[in-house]
Amino acid sequence: MTTSTARPSRFVVVFDTADPARLDEVAPAALESLGMQPDHWFPRLGVAIVSGTTAPTLTLQEAHSDVDVAVLPETTYHAITAPQTGPDSYEDTDQATWGIQAVGAVDSPHTGKGIRIAVLDTGFNTAHPDFAGRTVVTQSFIDGEDAEDGHGHGTHCVGTAAGPRTWAEGRGYGVAPEAEIYVAKVLGNNGTGSDATILAGIDWALEQGCQVISMSLGADVTTVHPPYVAAGRRALEQGSLLIAAAGNNAARSRGNPGFVGAPANSPYVMAVGAVDKRLEVADFSAQALDVEGGEVNIAGPGVAIHSSWIAPKNYNTINGTSMATPHVAGVAALIAEATGARGQELWDQLVAGVRDLGLPKEDVGAGLVTAPQARTSSGTPSSWVVTLDDSHADRVEEVAAQLRAAGMRITRTLPRLGMIHGCTEGPCSVEELTGIDGVASVDVEVAHHITPPGPRIL
């Protein structure tokens, strides 16, 4: 990751109101009343980009005192890559990369079918032979450049998230091979972009109905950047999940743990750290930043990752939290397909399903992202925590009777919490349980343990 720089002549204006419907009414009028014509207005985010010699903070706030307004200098972002390291003891197989093996994608019956993944990066090599016959929707937000990838980073990330999982002529490398691919070119062929291009890409992805938005990019800033707080929150409200690279500014072997940069340090953006083939923290992977939202939330494979690339090479093996991020995005698509989860529920299921690595949460968050597997027909029970909606929270026994009729064995009712614990065997599915009147969510029961004092071998 390269140090960010600010553009003093351009500002990001964030309008925050409890009534999102008012954004289109208030924001343009507030800017116009002060003689400001926004360079860009992103209605789904409530964010504008304006030009000027000074930040118009006070005058904007005075013009509409009922709406909170934040004004920040526009920031420059970069594709997040890390230098190659020495040989590892664990190699890819002829059939699959180590990354898609580690997250369990190779054994998952789910493919991401029907789920839209947006990759916001340097574009995509639309002529790549591995994607022949696949529909890839592209859009460029870089002035003077089309959506073709002139860098390689974007094509690599698309490949990991949604490339082929199996391939007759070589190893598979994609987590969600049947997901629908949307590519927003928000970083130029030089690997850099700005708040304006990235926010435009997020706004476009939401317009396209993408349930997962993957951003392998960042800026080395130690403060939470308000535009991405608003963007992340509004994405979740619209049933989409923003996933971003934590950053590569660490040098752990030299005693520097680094810190999570923007946009990953928003509390509403899932920050992804990287692990190597031994499932240890990558030397370059940034540690949590001590601010709200600065946590590392989850980890993915990020060292020696083989994926698609631009021509004529077509393939490349590189490192970075950028490479870990599309592993998480791909698994998010698998979970979204398998469970129907969207937005915050999808976030929760990603975190609940991780593999515990026994590593500090400051480095890997909850643990290694893991793909959903086939439901067993061996008779082994699955344990669930059922949460009732507010209108049924005092009718636990009534809902429990419906769950029993659907095939759940009730083991405990929690009337003061509006929750039910139970087990299922055989054909009963999550979709059937969530379809019962009064059920707000059904979550796999998670095992909890005393936090281990240090790394352990799994």
Q: Exposed, middle or buried: residue 344 (CB in 10 Å: 0-12, 13-18, 19+)?
A: middle
Please state the separation of Cα 392 from the chain's center in Å.
32
Residues 6+ apart with CB under 8 A from 258: 247, 248, 249, 250, 251, 252, 284, 285, 286, 287
In the block, tokens 């923003």 appear at 242
Torsion of CA 324, 272, 282, 315, to 10 degrees: 20
Q: Exposed, middle or buried: residue 73 (CB in 10 Å: 0-12, 13-18, 19+)?
A: middle
What is the H or E stretch that residue 249 is in? none
Contact 359, 345 (CB under 8 A): no
Looking at the DSSP assignment, which residues form a beta bridge with residue 72? 12
Distances (CA, A) of 187 to 121, 122, 147, 218, 379: 5, 5, 10, 11, 50
Handedness of CA 147, 148, 149, 154 (dihedral sign): positive
Contact 364, 278 (CB under 8 A): no
Q: Give the catalytic positions in this structure.
A: 121, 153, 322
Please state the separation of Cα 27 from the chain's center in Å.
28
Q: Hey, what amino acid is at 189?
A: N
C-alpha to C-alpha distance for 225 and 51, rounded to whole angstroms = 18
The full DSSP string for 195-230 is HHHHHHHHHHHHHTT-SEEEE-EEB--SS--HHHHH
